[in-house]
Structure 1
Amino acid sequence: MTLGLSLGVVVGYLVAALALGLVAYRVSESTAEDYYLANRSIGTLVLLFTTFATLLSAFTFFGGPNLAYAAGPEWLIVMGTLDGVLFAVLWYVIGYKQWLIGARNGYVTLGEMLGDRFGSTGLRALVAGVSLLWLFPYVMLQQMGAGEALVGLTNGAVPYWGGAALITAFMILYVAVAGLRGVAWTDTLQGLFMLSVVWIAAAWLVSSLGGVGAATEGMLAARPEFGSFGGGTYTPGFIISTAVTIAFGVTMFPQINQRFFVAKSAATLKRSFALWPVLVLLLFLPAFMLGAWAAGTPVTVPENANVLPVVLGEYTPAWFTALVIAGAMAAMMSSSDSMLLSGSSYFTRDVYRPVVNADASERREAWVARVGVAGFAALAFVASLFRPGTLVEVGGTAFSGFALLALPVICALYWPRTTRTGMLAGVAVPQVAYLAVVLSAVVDAVPTLPRTVAGGWDVALGLMALSAVLTVGVSLLTAPTEEGDASRFAVAGD
């Protein structure tokens, strides 16, 4: 009975989210701008929560508590404080300028914007290809998180592949019908729901342990090192590298970057990024402390399992644990459907239409997008079955790959002297180098290259610096092409 109830809650929640997507489909227009950007009509509350829920992935709900359980609560400082503030700053620096440019010129994707500015189909396709490359492990991350979540919730009655397959099926169905309007509506619902339920979960656990003081004392008694700042995993190199690569990487995630185009006004965008650090801290504080407090309980977390469903299963009723896991899986679906929706726009608008079939109708483009979504999700599902690393490791790989795009994009947005050749060099060379680092860790035939250097410093930081040096240096050595038009980015802010 408990197993049936748990699965019923999870599936019921996912079906409810899908139903809301169907409602959105009925009021949507059959245009690419409405499907991908909801006609640039999103208000403050929905923009804030669709961005928020899109980032509420397995990396947050399972990877974060897992790391806090294993290494201590300083993960809250990395994600809740440093990244909350840093991403809000980048939202203004990159996002506001993109909104101004997109509103004037009607751009839908980052590649479309850069390709038009520099008169380069190759740059447009390169940016889209790099984005799809690093989107793949992050979609896979959601499937891994869902598989592990259902294993923990059902004590292994549902196998790992079953949970991964369930969320894959729902994400394909959702993207096929909902579009951004439906995604944004469900994101808002799920963001509000998860904020509420994670605070209730934290309060329930703390109450069961005798209060915040007793929960913290138990944690420190079991893991005294959790009481001091730094040390172990949390070296200065790890903290700074992780905070920088995640914050810069998030701004280049297709599902986040595309949201820089959708606000209905400048005031909407500004209010959203001003409120962002507060909203992030409200979620990460209870979520990560749940993981840290769990280290002081007698609960045993099996290897490769997620701490959150295990500890909640011990201290809260089965129905509540199922509700938390259902909400977390719905949040993962929110991340996944946003990724697949944005990824399909990158593929169809920046690769298929300009490179393969420039005369494709919008109807044909829509079918290509849906087939591409299904194929992409299916391949990610197969890859997730091999479990190529922890949730944090897989997520960190994707963040760093996207982070390498950020500084060339900032150069393009703010420095009119940037050239097409400078952009191509600044994007391509660091990406090739980083891909070699990643492949060396998973392919036996490739010599192993270090991912970090002394003190936990991520090589991605050095490659980010290289991307800026190449973009600026090569631009100074080359002339702008006749096809380029810097005036397209010359906009006045409010």
Structure 2
Amino acid sequence: MSVVLQVAIVVGYLLAALAVGLLAYRLTERTAEDYYLAGRSLGTVVLLFTTFATLLSAFTFFAGPNIAYRFGPEWILVMGLMDGVLFGLLWYVVGFKQWLLGQQHGYVTLGELLGKRFDAPRLRGGVAFVSLFWLFPYVMLQQDGAGSALAALTNGAVPYWLGAGIITGFMILYVVLAGMRGVAWTDTLQGAFMLVVVWTALLWVLYAVGGASTATAALAASNPEFLRLGGGFYAVPNFLSTAVGIAFGVTMFPQVNQRFFAGDSETVLKRSFALWPILVLLLFVPAFMLGAWGAGLGVEMPASGNILPAILAEYTPGWFAAVVVAGAMAAMMSSSDSMLLSGSSYFTRDLYRPFVADEVDERREDRLARVGVVAFALATYAMSLYNRSIEGTWSLFRIGDTAFGGFAQLALPVMLALYWDGTSREGLAAGIFGSQLFFLLTVFQPETWVGGVPLAGSALAGLLEPAFGLFASSYVGGWGANVVGMGLGLVLTVAGSLLTAGRN
């Protein structure tokens, strides 16, 4: 199959999604509530699938199968059962409360809710800054995944920088035009399409190799440890730390958290979170099993570092592999467009409006939001190229896992703020920023990453070592720093609130 036809299939799919965005543009009012939340009018199917498609990212379609290929299919339990159920519960506990407050007060962002609840503009701005900081690498993740996928599909005929550039260009066009209404519509179509494609891919590969029993027997012969629960990468502390970090992190992702405000009714919220675990398993089981079976079938990891395109190239026709990659890129675009839209709202509502604007001007903010989308997307694209050019490039898994952990630090202080009347602005600030500082010090160790350059043995590393040596990526029993940081945030919020009781 020619490279031109493969690329045409991918671009054709993206153009179809863009056409939906153009239709939505014609129906979108020039107000923040309509642009960012589709007028708070989303029904059950659209809210469920737009949340679903927003999370169908490069982390799911490339990092997930890669992990199953390297460590075994128990990744289904981490991402599927654990985070399908955990996030479904959090959707109700956090999302329903946010929806009620949004209906009462017209909130558009989490920072706006917290800032007005505690009469604290700096807290509002700080939450926005933290969210944008962790959103940046996750948008990079989508661009990196798109560039890698197209390079693998075309055997390098479309280089990484061009593939990443294509997805960046499309998501800029789409978000600038479409707003939440267009994003939600296409997310619904893309989510359904991706479910069909990934199950078709699974059945096709299994048919080609002689069935699930043959694929499993090959896996048992080559990697018998993959069929045993627990141990190694899936040791209980690491397993639970990853699952808890991802579930709580997802709840605080701006593009997900903002959807808590967009539901049409209480019934919509309750139906959506109840159906969530089923939808998650329907996607993750085939995607991750393909990765695990690929190890047993002897499929070699390609230079791109992503196993799914290699499995498809081995056992399915070129046109079908192109369709799957198109769907995966659409999933990345579903994540990216939502991230850019929510990031824009955090910038305009929580940074520009309280600290720069003299008065509220919806139309000026609307224009600024669209300019911000372009600037943010181009900056992440440039950084994704830089990340590829240096030694020690961060993997898709590490980028995603780090962003999940950063967002997870927000979760417990925010939950206390939503449910505990004794929470003070000082306590909330201590919990949020104290846990963020702790997590940053565990992530950016001098021997691993500072500006992309390993510093082990350097003079700077010697100066930093006493401070950074107090922190580690895991603690007693192997528990991850993300979970330890969450616990610290909880303690700081409670202690700070008790010490400052009566000041708010």
Amino acid at match of 2:408: A
Q: Which residue of 2 aligns with 1:428?
A: 433
Residue number in structure 1 paired with 2:145: 145
Report if the CA contact (8 A) 1:235-1:455 is conserved: no
How far apart are residue 303 of structure 1 and its match?
4.0
Distance 1:288 1:154 in 2: 23
Post-superposition offset of 1:450? 2.2
Distance (whole Å) between structure 1 residues aligned to residue 254 and residue 301 of structure 2: 34
1:36-435 matches, within 5 Å, as 36-385=36-385, 386-387=387-388, 388-435=393-440
Q: TM-score, normalised by structure 1?
A: 0.96
CA distance in 1, matches of 2:60, 2:477: 25
Q: Is the 8 A contact 2:237 2:480 kept in 1?
A: yes
* Aligned partner of residue 336 in structure 2, secondary structure: helix
Name the CA distance, whole Å, in 1 between partners of 2:220 and 2:376.
44
Q: Where does residue 472 of structure 2 map in the other structure?
A: 450
- Taking the aligned partners of 2:194 and 2:212, their CA distance within structure 1 comes to 21
Runs (5+) with no aligned partner, structure 2:
none
Mapped contact 1:150–1:159 kept (Cα < 8 A): yes
**8 Å CA contact 2:43, 2:268 repeated in 1:** yes
How far 1:234 moved relative to its partner? 1.0
Task: Tell me by how many angstroms 1:452 deviates.
Answer: 2.1
Distance in 2 (CA, whole Å) between partners of 1:481 and 1:351 is 25
Among 434, 456, 471, the alignment partner of 2:493 is 471
SS of alignment partner, residue 442 of structure 1: coil
CA distance in 1, matches of 2:503, 2:354: 19
SS at match of 2:234: coil
User: Which secondary structure does the structure 2 equivalent of 1:473 belong to?
Assistant: helix
Deviates more, 1:82-91 or 1:380-389: 380-389
Q: Which amino acid aligns with 2:2?
A: T
Report the 3-state secondary structure (helix = DSSP H, G, I; strand = E; otherwise coil) of the residue aligned with 1:169.
helix
Q: Shift of residue 232 of structure 1? A: 2.2
Query: Counterpart of 1:442 in structure 2: which amino acid?
Result: W
Higher mean C-alpha displacement, 437-446 vs 161-170: 437-446
- Shift of the alpha carbon at 1:152? 0.9
Once the two structures are overlaid, the 10-residue window that deviates more, 356-365 or 248-257, is 356-365
Counterpart contact for 1:418–1:480, Cα < 8 Å: no
Whether the 8 Å contact between 1:140 and 1:381 is mirrored in structure 2 is yes
User: C-alpha distance in 1, partners of 2:313/2:502?
Assistant: 61
In 1, distance between residues paired with 2:444 and 2:221?
41
Report which stretch shifted further, 349-358 or 185-194.
349-358
Percent of matched pairs sharing the same residue: 62
For residue 454 of structure 1, report the CA deviation from its aligned partner.
5.3
Alignment partner, residue 486 of structure 1: none
Which stretch shows the higher mean deviation, 131-140 or 456-465?
A: 456-465
Q: Is the 8 A contact 2:84 2:276 kept in 1?
A: yes
Deviation, structure 1 residue 455: 5.0
Residue pair 1:168, 1:378 contacting (<8 A) in 2 also: yes
> Does the aligned pair in 1 maintain the 2:431–2:491 contact within 8 Å?
yes
Report how far residue 480 of structure 1 moved.
Answer: 4.0
Q: Tell me if the contact between 1:87 and 1:247 (Cα under 8 Å) persists in the aligned partners.
A: yes
Deviation at 1:312, TM superposition (A): 0.2
Give 1:488's aligned residue: none
How much has 1:15 moved relative to structure 2? 0.8
Amino acid of the structure 1 residue aligned with 2:487? A
User: For 2:50 and 2:374, how far apart are their aligned partners in 1?
Assistant: 23
- Compute the displacement of 1:252 (Å): 0.3
- The aligned residue for residue 482 of structure 2 is 460
RMSD: 1.2
Q: Distance in 2 between matches of 1:247 and 1:460?
A: 12
- Paired letter, 1:285: V
CA distance in 2 between partners of 1:232 and 1:73 (Å): 13
In structure 2, what is the Cα distance between the partners aligned to 1:275 and 1:315? 33
Residue 166 of structure 1 and its aligned partner are, at CA, apart by 0.9
